Amino acid sequence: KNPRDFTYENIAKFKKQIELLGKSIDWSKELATSDDYFYQWTQWIFKKLYEKKLASLEDVEVNFCEKLGTVLANDEIIQTNEGIVSERGNFPVIKKKMKQWVLKITKYAERLLEDLKFLDWKEDIKEIQKKWIGKKEGFIFNFFILLENNKKDDNFIEVFTTKPSTIFGVNALVLAPEHPLIDFLVSEENISKVNVYLEQVRKKTNLEKQKNQNKTGIFTGRYALHPFNNKKIPIWISDYVLIHYGTGVVMCVPSCDKRDYLFSKKFNLELINIISDDNFDKKNMSILEKVN
């Protein structure tokens, strides 16, 4: 059945229900976004966005429910012990890459932030908007990838950090599980282990990944070169790193970040002390609580 048909059938039902309730409605103000008059303008603005290269068709990982036959938003899914399920019906939900239209609103991030001062909104609402835009100032470091013969490759991993002074405390690079370089990075002997880990991660929501104190991860089997001292830096994958933050990679600096510290302790990574304290291992957690 044409979606247009049942859309207007349902609108008629809703109107009837409102009338039965005795509500006083000015139906001359009625507007449906499926009306020709309305969507001609949404099509017009989309065309303009496309012409300016602000709209593109990309492969995006989504929450897909086969039973419902649709993509679900993050607030329409629930995390259970068995995995992710739909809020409606408790049907299994999988992470799946699908073609999606993406609007590059990040191109306007600076303007959106700057123009908040012109809005007659409450300050707490403006603060929420500022956090949503999430402007961060920092540096990008390039870590060149080492090939299996330990020769430097032409490819490198970009890492964004708001704390460039911590660069000498890096003990690993940690990639988000969705990072596009993973297929290229993983060594042959580690492929099967990495694939098992990635499958486990796909069953978690972003909220669970962030809240989980029990850090998980897998070594790719590959290394990168430190940009300043040429030290070999192991490349890991972990679900505590989010693909949409920065470049989807973090410099693991255990002396300055609680999550990095917990991750390093769990996987016995080198604890490089860039905080002047002889009793680093015992006191570091309390220091990090203050830093964070």
153 and 284 assigned to the same domain: yes
Asked if residue 245 and residue 130 are part of one domain, the reply reads no
Q: What is the mean pLDDT of the chain?
A: 88
121-141: pLDDT as tens digits: 999 999 999 988 888 889 999
- Enclosing domain of residue 77: 52-103
What is the spatial distance between Cα 229 and Cα 86, in angstroms, rounded to a whole number?
Answer: 49
Tokens 């999988």 locate to 94
Q: Same domain for 99 and 227? A: no
Shared domain check, 172 and 189: yes
Characterize 191-228 residue by residue with b for buried, 16 or more Cβ atoms within 10 angstroms of its Cβ, and e for exposed.
eeebeebbeebbbbbeeebeeeeebbbbbbbbbbbbbe
**pLDDT at res. 291:** 44
Chain CA centroid to CA 213, Å: 18
Q: In CATH, what number is assigned to the domain containing residue 181?
A: 3.90.740.10
Q: What is the H or E stretch that residue 223 is in?
A: strand 218-225
* Residue 84 located in a structural domain: yes
Please tell me whether residues 64 and 128 are part of one structural domain. no
CB-based contact 34:8 (threshold 8 Å)? yes
Output the pLDDT for position 292. 44
40 within domain boundaries: no
Asked if residue 226 and residue 145 are part of one domain, the reply reads yes
Could you give the CA distance from residue 54 to residue 17 in angstroms, rounded to a whole number?
41
Question: pLDDT category, 83, cuts 50, 70, 90?
Answer: confident
Domain shared by 186 and 77, yes or no: no
In a domain, 167, yes or no: yes
On whether residue 109 sits in a domain, the answer given is yes
**Beta-carbon count within 10 A of 265 CB:** 15
For the chain, how many structural domains are there in total? 3
Q: Are residues 176 and 239 in the same domain?
A: yes
Cα separation of the two ends of the chain: 54
- Examine the domain organization and report whether 221 and 156 are in the same domain: yes
Q: How confident is the model at residue 212 (pLDDT cuts 50, 70, 90)?
A: low
Question: How many DSSP H helices and E strands does the chain contain?
Answer: 9, 11
170-180 residue pLDDT tens: 999 999 999 99
Residue 276 within a domain: yes
Q: Do the domain assignments include residue 98?
A: yes
Higher pLDDT: 91 or 278? It is 91
237-280 per-position pLDDT tens digit: 999 998 888 899 999 999 888 889 999 999 999 988 887 655 54
Question: Residues 216, 262: contact at Cβ < 8 Å?
Answer: no
Among residues 200, 280, 210, the alpha carbon closest in space to that of 241 is found at: 210
* Residue 252 placed within a domain: yes
More confident residue, 286 or 258: 258
